[in-house]
A = this chain, B = another copy of it.
């Protein structure tokens, strides 16, 4: 479990279209399980783990195989609408997001995730290439901290360094 989301009015925070649509537009088969996984993800906000989805599914009495969930996540990840991110503690979690290249800021208070664009980093990387003679073909950046809501409220509530 990644972090129990308090049910908030953020069910569709960034106004993503339903994920299932992405599968459809990509010409992939729309199957029951895929729709189910897509819906489960749509119903969440912020971080989630594959296990979270499995748990959700169990709670809603929608039986889905473990492998299927991972396969669906792989698909969605390839399509760029779900990303697997690295947590500060070394664990992984997934998050729904836009296909365009970007990065994520993760709130360690509430698990909210905010997409962050790339601008400044692109320059920084060009600079690094010039400096080092390396060719940088990809990168991964994750930011950790507190969202505006959590910054003003109690700084308490879990979080490892």
Contacts and interface: CB of A to CB of B under 8 A. Distances in A.
A29 interface: no
A132 interface: yes
Interface stretch (A8-16, A20-28, A58-66, A85-93): A85-93
Contact of A84 (B90, B123, B143): B90
A3 to B, nearest CB: 17
A121 B142 CA distance: 12
Nearest to A92: B90
A141 interface: yes
Interface in A92-131: 92, 105, 107-108, 114, 116, 119-121, 123-125, 127-128
A127 to B, nearest CB: 6
A17 interface: no
A114 B90 CA distance: 21
Interface of A: 84, 86, 88, 90, 92, 105, 107-108, 114, 116, 119-121, 123-125, 127-128, 132-148, 151, 161
A159 B88 CA distance: 25
Contacts of A125: 143
13 contacts: A86-B86, A88-B140, A105-B132, A107-B134, A108-B137, A114-B132, A120-B120, A120-B123, A133-B148, A134-B147, A134-B151, A135-B145, A138-B161
Contact of A120 (B107, B127, B138): B127
